[in-house]
């Protein structure tokens, strides 16, 4: 039950007859009794909320930054028309701040025995699952004095996927991949290690690639061609521990790491490699295994959608053992973690030999442009101390990277907007060098 | 209220999910088609999405308050206009000091010229005290007097033995001041003939005593003049004391400045008011009631009509209803887990603050020098392992510089700066050296 402003206004206007005509309890009773009677009649004539049928349809997933539309169909099986104000409640991050009230409320008229559809437009501001909350309906009577109010639960979930902003870098990297593949007009000898086919010798070919045995069998000189390795296994490991929660610019490190992982997955699946995903801190948070090339990206984004940084220290021991379990044969292990000295030196470094003896390890880390900015500050004593602190942390980072390099780990350290292309380039150069 | 059959909507939702999923669950699809050049997506709205609700700008504040200001302006203008219209004509009415058309200074001046002293009083107590056998008490507006004032004037009439002139007394005051007389309708003619034997009336002749009250008396006592339709507009009644009398004048017109010169007004006024050497001119004032009798002080609520308290009670009911209307939410609040917001650069900034707090010039200088040495070594082709060796680095640097730097060892390998200014200067010099090596 809910009163309306109209009832309050009528009660206020009632003070005129009470004050002028009948200033007594009788007058009060007459005015308020009439008002109460009208309210009761209104309540009785309002369509009941409980018997309405509500169904949802619409988008179930949306990329971050894009709008999603969820439809709510309200059926009125009763005999009285429904005049209602509907609030389709969703968590606050489903809308831009300040627009929630306007976006979630609808005014609705459903004649008796009919159905009407309202559309709630969501514009989520964060990744993850948005679950619909209750639907509250306020059904007004014909006089608009009193309304019935009730709540229905109509479950629906919209999964907000990572935006994958780095996909703009994909075409240029695919072009480089095709170049390496020998599919373009540029005739460079593939530096891969896999035998592809034999063809006739043309002047200019490397004489070392002449296949003498085939030449002896045939009438012309034959050369072997090679193609880059295919069907290699790549395991992308996202560290979701405490170091991934730190915000660089306006987004957590984890978001930049996801973006880079998506670009790498898209590129590697096009290059014919198999890509798996593992998100781990103290335990495994998400895992994608053995998907076909066309299925990789949807599987990755929906696995990543619900990942949030956990405020725990990453357990390097279980991380390494999980990687070893998931990568039975020689793989490229891409670790997306941080280059902070303490977690690396105490956690990962002692365990690295177990990884590097079987796999190629590539470690990518999100650098903070703010630290670089700090190293350049000059002029005042505070600024110089900032510069010293920034330089110190950069030096420590570089030392850690050098230590990792000595263990045979390839390190990519880049700011959020350059991390994805840098990681893709590192992958391409490893592939070109036949190191997978 | 919960839906009686929650399975129905839930079922519909699950059924609809796979259908709607098809076009949306594949964000990789555009990426897969990237060969065609489709590269950028609308995903870059992240920072924009986090802007807070807009603060009110001066423009919106103006737009919101404009209606209120206009109402206020109209109210003030109306109040000023109303005040100007109402007070303009009433100011100084029947005041012997006022030269306005509605004032009475002319008659007061004429009386003074004939040796009658005029004294203005504003309270009934003063008037009663001043009244005596040799005074004429003029009450300009008897109907406005309260009970205590009426009593005071009544006792003055009874005891003073002088003349009392009442200007157009009506039914509210007559029972107290002149119980023998009653009002008898309105005299429609303004100018009337004497029609009696009163000497003053006879010598004055036709005068403007009409236009207001007519009177009638119970007994035969008193002199009735200027009748209009058979009932007098001027009544002279003897009072209880010997020699005293009370004059009831049906209209105040003859005393006004603007009417004094016409007909026999001036003559009648002078003869009515000039029979005694002193004239007490009583102008009742609005503040009198409280000055006279504190016991009669009324609160604001007493002054309001009785119905207002009931109307107020009804308004309170309306306020309660309005509160209930505003208090009822359209559904409960929705809660949500918020992500942590820690800046990644926080530890580095904390280190800078620690340096400053500790005044760690030695650490800062060491760090900055070491970083510059490493960069110089990379630029000059000195192996990184020998970057911090003066014997390897210094010759390479000085060989590169065009002009000799006398304090090169001190700059790159020197002691800790002793002051903050020296540290700032050291940072600038290291920058300058590196720039020089880079450009040479």
Task: Write out the DSSP string of A82-103.
Answer: EEEEEEE---GGGS-TT-HHHH
Q: Which among A15, A277, A405 is the top mutation candidate for probing chain B, defined by the most B β-carbons within 10 Å of its own β-carbon?
A: A15
Do B387 and B248 share a domain, yes or no?
no
Q: Does B146 fall in a domain?
A: yes
Higher pLDDT, B223 or A410: A410
Q: Find the Cα–Cα–Cα–Cα dihedral A378, A383, A388, A393, rounded to 10°.
A: -110
Which residue, B100, B252, B234, is CA-closest to B167?
Answer: B252
Q: Does B202 fall in a domain?
A: yes
Residue of B nearest to A139 (CA): B330
Looking at residue A7, its pLDDT comes to 93
Residues of chain B with Cβ-Cβ distance to A76 below 8 Å are: none
Is the CB of residue A144 less than 8 Å from the CB of residue A190? no
Which residue, A50, A119, A109, is CA-closest to A81?
Answer: A109
Looking at residue A215, its pLDDT comes to 87
pLDDT tens across B217-259, in order?
876 677 888 888 778 888 888 876 667 788 888 888 888 888 8
Looking at residue A150, its pLDDT comes to 93
Residues of chain B with Cβ-Cβ distance to A2 below 8 Å are: 325, 328
Looking at residue B42, its pLDDT comes to 36
**Where does a domain end: B273, B288, B303?**
B288
Asked if A300 and B346 come within 8 Å (Cβ–Cβ), the reply is no
Looking at residue A301, its pLDDT comes to 93
Tell me the domain boundaries of chain A.
Answer: 1-161, 195-227, 233-432
Compute the average pLDDT of residues A30-57: 94
Q: Does B219 fall in a domain?
A: yes
pLDDT tens across B169-213, in order?
888 888 888 877 888 888 787 888 888 878 888 888 888 888 788
Report if pTM > 0.80: no
Write out residues 368-407 of A within 8 Å (CB-CB) of B. Answer: 368, 370-371, 374-375, 378-395
Confidence of residue B371 (pLDDT cuts 50, 70, 90): very high
Confidence of residue A71 (pLDDT cuts 50, 70, 90): very high
Higher pLDDT, A341 or A192: A341
Do B110 and B254 share a domain, yes or no?
yes
Q: Does B368 fall in a domain?
A: yes
Do B365 and B280 share a domain, yes or no?
no
- Out of A10-14, A82-86, A378-382, B27-31, which region has the weakest mean confidence (pLDDT)? B27-31
Q: What percent of chain A has pLDDT over 70?
A: 95
Helix (H) or strand (E) holding B353: helix B346-358
**Where does a domain end: B267, B288, B309?**
B288
Compute the average pLDDT of residues A257-278: 93
Q: Does B253 fall in a domain?
A: yes
C-alpha distances (whole Å) from A92 to each of A88, A107, A125, A152, B85 are 12, 21, 9, 19, 59
Asked if B49 and A123 come within 8 Å (Cβ–Cβ), the reply is yes
How far away is chain A from the Cα of B72, in angstroms, using its nearest Cα?
23
Looking at residue B223, its pLDDT comes to 81
Whole domain around residue B367: which residue ranges?
355-439
Which residue, B123, B126, B89, B94, is CA-closest to B107?
Answer: B94
Q: What percent of chain B has pLDDT over 70?
A: 81
Q: Chain B within 8 Å of A171 (Cβ-Cβ)?
A: yes
Do B249 and B130 share a domain, yes or no?
yes
Task: Write out the DSSP string of A375-391.
Answer: HT--SSHHHHHHHHHHH
Q: Is the pLDDT of residue B310 over 90?
A: no
Nearest CB partner across the interface for B25, out of A53, A61, A253: A61
CATH number at residue B185: 3.40.50
Q: Chain A within 8 Å of B308 (Cβ-Cβ)?
A: yes
Q: Chain A within 8 Å of B286 (Cβ-Cβ)?
A: no
- Out of A121-130, A142-151, B10-19, B229-238, which region has the weakest mean confidence (pLDDT)? B10-19
Q: Does B81 fall in a domain?
A: no
Superfamily classification of domain A233-432:
von Willebrand factor, type A domain (3.40.50.410)
Residues of chain A with Cβ-Cβ distance to B32 below 8 Å are: 266, 294, 297
Asked if B314 and A31 come within 8 Å (Cβ–Cβ), the reply is yes
Helix (H) or strand (E) holding A128: strand A128-131
Superfamily classification of domain A1-161:
Immunoglobulins (2.60.40.10)
Looking at residue A74, its pLDDT comes to 95
Which residue, B282, B273, B244, is CA-closest to B124?
Answer: B282
Task: Write out the DSSP string of A143-177.
Answer: TSSEEEEEEEE---EEEEE---GGGGGHHHHHHHH
How far away is chain B from the Cα of A47, in angstroms, using its nearest Cα?
14
Q: Which among A140, A381, A394 is the top mutation candidate for probing chain B, defined by the most B β-carbons within 10 Å of its own β-carbon?
A: A381
Q: Which among A20, A167, A309, A380 is the top mutation candidate for probing chain B, defined by the most B β-carbons within 10 Å of its own β-carbon?
A: A167
Do B131 and B261 share a domain, yes or no?
yes
Q: Is the pLDDT of residue B31 over 80?
A: no
Do B222 and B368 share a domain, yes or no?
no
Q: Is the pLDDT of residue A109 over 90?
A: yes
Q: Does B371 fall in a domain?
A: yes
**Where does a domain end: B241, B264, B288?**
B288
Looking at residue A193, its pLDDT comes to 54
Do B282 and B377 share a domain, yes or no?
no
Q: Does B84 fall in a domain?
A: no
Looking at residue B61, its pLDDT comes to 86
Looking at residue B409, its pLDDT comes to 86
Buried-state track B30-45, b at ≥16 Cβ within 10 A, e below 16: bbbebeeeeeebebeb
Write out residues 229-288 of A within 8 Å (CB-CB) of B. Answer: 245-253, 262, 266
- Out of B84-98, B149-163, B226-240, which region has the weakest mean confidence (pLDDT)? B84-98
Cα–Cα distance, A385 to A373 (Å, whole number): 13
Asked if B355 and A389 come within 8 Å (Cβ–Cβ), the reply is yes
Q: Is the pLDDT of residue B154 over 90?
A: no
Is the CB of residue A229 less than 8 Å from the CB of residue A431? yes
Total domains in chain B come to 2
């Amino acid at each position: 039950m809910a009163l309306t402003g109209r009832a309050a206004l009528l009660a206020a206007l009632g003070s005129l007859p009470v004050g002028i005509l009948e200033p007594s309890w009788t007058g009060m009773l007459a005015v308020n009794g009439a008002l109460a009677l009208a309210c009761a009649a209104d309540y009785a004539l309002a369509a009941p909320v409980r018997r309405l049928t509500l169904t949802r349809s619409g988008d179930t997933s949306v990329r971050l930054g894009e709008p999603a539309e969820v439809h709510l169909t309200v059926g009125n099986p009763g005999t009285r028309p429904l005049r209602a104000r509907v609030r389709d409640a969703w968590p606050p991050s489903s809308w831009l701040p300040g627009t929630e009230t306007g976006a979630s409320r609808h005014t609705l008229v459903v004649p008796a025995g009919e159905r009407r559809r309202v559309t709630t437009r969501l514009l989520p501001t964060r990744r993850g699952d948005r679950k619909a909350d209750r639907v509250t309906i306020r059904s007004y009577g014909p006089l608009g004095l009193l309304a019935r109010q009730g709540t229905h639960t109509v479950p629906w979930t919209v999964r907000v996927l990572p935006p994958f902003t780095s996909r703009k870098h994909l075409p240029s990297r695919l072009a480089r991949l095709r170049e390496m593949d020998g599919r373009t007009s540029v005739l460079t000898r593939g530096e891969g290690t896999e035998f592809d086919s034999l063809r006739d010798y043309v002047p200019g070919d490397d004489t070392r690639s002449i296949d003498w045995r085939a030449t002896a069998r045939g009438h012309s000189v034959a050369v072997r061609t090679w193609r880059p390795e295919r069907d290699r296994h790549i395991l992308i490991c996202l560290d979701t521990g405490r170091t991934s929660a730190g915000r660089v610019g306006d987004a957590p490190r984890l978001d930049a790491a996801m973006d880079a992982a998506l670009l790498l997955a898209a590129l590697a699946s096009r290059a014919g490699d198999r890509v798996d995903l593992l998100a781990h801190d103290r335990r495994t948070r998400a895992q994608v295994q053995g998907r076909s090339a066309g299925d990789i990206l949807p599987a990755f984004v929906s696995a990543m959608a619900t990942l949030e940084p956990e405020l725990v220290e990453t357990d390097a021991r279980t991380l390494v053992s999980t990687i070893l379990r998931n990568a039975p044969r020689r793989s490229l292990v891409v670790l997306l973690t941080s280059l902070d000295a303490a977690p690396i030196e105490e956690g990962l470094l002692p365990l690295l030999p177990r990884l590097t003896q079987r796999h190629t390890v590539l470690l990518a880390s999100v650098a903070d442009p703010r630290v670089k900015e700090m190293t350049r500050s000059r002029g005042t004593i505070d600024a110089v101390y900032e510069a010293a602190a920034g330089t110190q942390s950069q030096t420590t980072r570089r030392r850690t990277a050098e230590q990792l390099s000595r263990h045979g780990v390839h390190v990519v350290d880049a700011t959020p907007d350059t991390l994805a292309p840098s990681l893709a380039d590192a992958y391409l150069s490893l592939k070109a060098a036949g190191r997978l | 209220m919960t839906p009686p059959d929650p399975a129905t909507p839930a079922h519909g939702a699950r059924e609809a999910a796979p259908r709607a999923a098809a076009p949306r669950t594949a964000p990789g699809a555009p990426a897969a088609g990237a060969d065609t050049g489709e590269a950028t997506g609308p995903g870059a709205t992240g920072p924009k999405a986090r802007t807070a609700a807009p603060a009110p700008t001066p423009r919106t504040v103006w737009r919101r308050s404009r209606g209120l200001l206009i109402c206020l302006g109209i109210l003030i203008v109306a109040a000023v206009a109303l005040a100007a219209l109402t007070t303009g004509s009433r100011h100084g009415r029947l005041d012997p000091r006022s030269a306005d058309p509605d004032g009475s200074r002319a008659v007061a001046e004429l009386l003074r010229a004939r040796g009658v002293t005029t004294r203005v009083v504003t309270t009934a107590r003063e008037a009663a005290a001043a009244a005596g056998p040799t005074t004429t008490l003029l009450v300009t507006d008897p109907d406005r007097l309260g009970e205590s004032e009426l009593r005071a004037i009544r006792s003055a009439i009874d005891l003073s033995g002088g003349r009392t002139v009442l200007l157009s007394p009506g039914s509210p005051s007559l029972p107290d001041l002149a119980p023998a007389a009653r009002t008898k309708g309105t005299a429609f003619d303004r100018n009337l003939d004497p029609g009696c034997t009163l000497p003053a009336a006879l010598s004055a002749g036709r005068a403007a005593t009409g236009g207001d009250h007519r009177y009638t008396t119970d007994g035969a006592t008193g002199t009735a003049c200027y009748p209009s339709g058979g009932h007098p507009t001027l009544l002279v009644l003897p009072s209880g004391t010997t020699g005293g009398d009370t004059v009831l004048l049906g209209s105040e017109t003859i005393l006004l400045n603007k009417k004094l010169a016409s007909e026999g007004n001036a003559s009648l006024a002078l003869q009515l008011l000039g029979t005694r050497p002193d004239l007490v001119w009583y102008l009742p004032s609005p503040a009198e009631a409280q000055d006279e009798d504190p016991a009669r002080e009324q609160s604001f609520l007493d002054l309001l009509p009785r119905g207002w308290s009931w109307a107020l009670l009804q308004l309170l009911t309306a306020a309660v209803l309005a509160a209930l209307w505003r208090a009822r939410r359209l559904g409960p609040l929705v809660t949500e887990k918020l992500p942590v917001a820690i800046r990644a650069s926080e530890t580095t900034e904390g280190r800078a603050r620690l340096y400053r707090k500790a005044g760690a010039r030695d650490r800062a200088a060491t760090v900055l020098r070491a970083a510059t040495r490493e960069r110089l070594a990379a630029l000059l082709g000195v192996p990184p392992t020998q970057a911090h060796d003066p014997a390897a680095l210094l010759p390479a640097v000085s060989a590169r510089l065009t002009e000799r730097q006398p304090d090169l060892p001190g700059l790159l390998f020197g002691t800790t700066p002793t002051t903050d200014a020296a540290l700032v200067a050291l940072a600038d010099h290291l920058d300058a050296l590196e720039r020089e090596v880079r450009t040479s």
